[in-house]
Chain A
Amino acid sequence: MTKVSFTVNGQAVALSLDTRTTLLDALREHLQLTGSKKGCDHGQCGACTVMVNGRRINSCLSLAVMHEGNEVTTIEGLGSPESMHPMQDAFVRHDGYQCGYCTPGQICSSVAILEEIKAGIPSHVSADLNAQPRVTPEEIRERMSGNICRCGAYSNIVDAITEVAGRQA
């Protein structure tokens, strides 16, 4: 067993874990934060997306013991049913899901891509690498391609993100 401490949604946690435990399993099985989902467990679907030190990652492809001192934010840290994050609210109003399994990962990614665009990080579809990227449906689709939705809620997800981006601008 190896000790590790980090913060999750602002709360300090200290765990003693088998080194094989992924960050996703630590969150779900040890901290009972079951919002983050396990879809593929191989970095292919994005259901496990969380923010670490402000950047989105696939928590299934990261060992918990490698997060000493990090700040982890999960869907539970973005908002609650009583006090939703604007992105959660937009997903509800735009029907950005059907079964909801991919949704926590989609929402974490959605929040992150708007930050990434704001920070000027280009994407595969940015025509000019040196210009400030814009929030277009094409940019949203490309940046969200690491989040798969089996129910095919994609177009409503793009609408939800577009609305939140418009409100922020």
Chain B
Amino acid sequence: MKPFTYERAGSPAEAAAAAARVQGARFIAGGTNLLDLMKLQIETPTHLIDVNGLALDSIEATQEGGLRIGALVRNTDLAADARVRRDYALLSRALLAGASGQLRNKATTAGNLMQRTRCPYFYDTNQPCNKRQPGSGCAAIGGFSRPLAVVGSSEACIATNPGDMAVAMRALGAVVETVKPDGTTRSIPIAEFHRLPGDTPHVETALERGELITAVTLPPPVGGTHIYRKVRDRASYAFALVSVAAIVQRDGTGRVALGGVAPKPWRVEAAEAELPRGARAATAAILDGARPTHENAFKIPLVERTLGAVLAQARG
């Protein structure tokens, strides 16, 4: 790791202000993604702002009948919360399908949303990577692209967003709450939180410099059957090749978001009208415009079959 200075933030607004003031500063929460990348010198912050002391670790009911999840709520606690298990089972299921028990005990809501890609070339500092080093090229295009994106990618980057939690949050219609360095706050719908790569794959989220996530809000529960199905190379402790987060209502209508296929949790609201017609029609609409590589073209039929299995399970 490169040397860095360290401070414990006193309040969310102070943390944001400090992050904007010090060049090269980063927030650290659970540390499970940031430290991993710092050891490989993929991330080289000069200053770490520890946000763990900020009282952002509770889950509260909102006036609208939803839940407000503090940025520092640990993945274990969020998955185990009685209200989440009952009304947002999709979120519990997605969290429990991710990482390991040890990691979930540390990983936070905000850190999980911000986790970076698992593209093997992003991790290999000997390789060109537009995300790690803008303008250097993309070793994955024409390389080992089996785990990478089939839709939403660009000429500059075909990496996926590797997370599970955010896929469920996308289906649930979550909103990310933040505070900026000037102390103002804003709400970012999860659909707009993660960016498509375009020609700036190093810009991954809508956050501005120094902006701190304070919470994620869930709208009131929508009922239905909640299913998170993750397909991976091992039965546990592996990232998704493909994942399907679905909320299916009795009449066959519903919502679907996909993980493992795109640079962001992939949901196409207009395509959901196809759900009552089955997995084939829905997959074709959701993955319309997909541009897989020869190594990851298998993900398209895999999505269709996984969605088919999910819809069959929902019918009971």
- Contact check: which of B1, B6, B96, B100 meets A2 at CB < 8 Å? B6
The verdict on A37 contacting chain B, using a C-beta distance below 8 Å, is no
Q: Which residues of B29-55 are within 8 A (CB) of A?
A: 30-32, 35-36, 39, 48, 50, 52
**A residues within 8 A CB of B4?**
19-20
Among residues of A, the one whose C-beta sits closest to the C-beta of B85 is: A129
Q: Which residues of B240-258 are within 8 A (CB) of A?
A: none
Among residues of A, the one whose C-beta sits closest to the C-beta of B47 is: A19
Provided the pairs A19-B5, A62-B106, A124-B236 are in contact, do residues A56 and B32 lie with their beta carbons within 8 angstroms?
Answer: no
Binding stretch for chain A, among B61-69, B86-94, B274-282, B284-292: B86-94
* Contact yes or no, B102 A57, CB < 8 A: yes
**A residues within 8 A CB of B1?**
20
Report A49-67 CB contacts with B as 1/0, cut-off 8 Å. 1000001111001110110
**B residues within 8 A CB of A113?**
101
Cα separation A126 to B106 with both chains bound (whole Å): 21
The verdict on B314 contacting chain A, using a C-beta distance below 8 Å, is no
Cα separation A19 to B85 with both chains bound (whole Å): 38
Tally of B interface residues using CB under 8 Å: 37
- Contact check: which of B50, B86, B96, B103 meets A124 at CB < 8 Å? B96
Report A97-128 CB contacts with B as 1/0, cut-off 8 Å. 00000000000010011001001111110100
Given contacts A61-B103, A61-B106, A145-B101, 16 further A-B contacts (CB under 8 A): A20-B3, A41-B39, A57-B105, A61-B32, A62-B35, A63-B28, A66-B52, A68-B8, A122-B80, A122-B92, A123-B101, A143-B101, A145-B236, A145-B237, A146-B101, A147-B100
| A-B contact list, 8 entries, CB within 8 Å | A20-B4, A63-B35, A112-B101, A119-B80, A129-B85, A129-B93, A141-B236, A146-B99
Query: Residues of B at under 8 Å CB distance from A?
Result: 1, 3-6, 8, 28, 30-32, 35-36, 39, 48, 50, 52, 76, 79-80, 82, 85-86, 89, 92-93, 96-97, 99-103, 105-106, 235-237
Query: Residues of A at under 8 Å CB distance from B?
Result: 2, 18-20, 22, 41-43, 46, 49, 55-58, 61-63, 65-66, 68, 109, 112-113, 116, 119-124, 126, 129-130, 141-143, 145-147
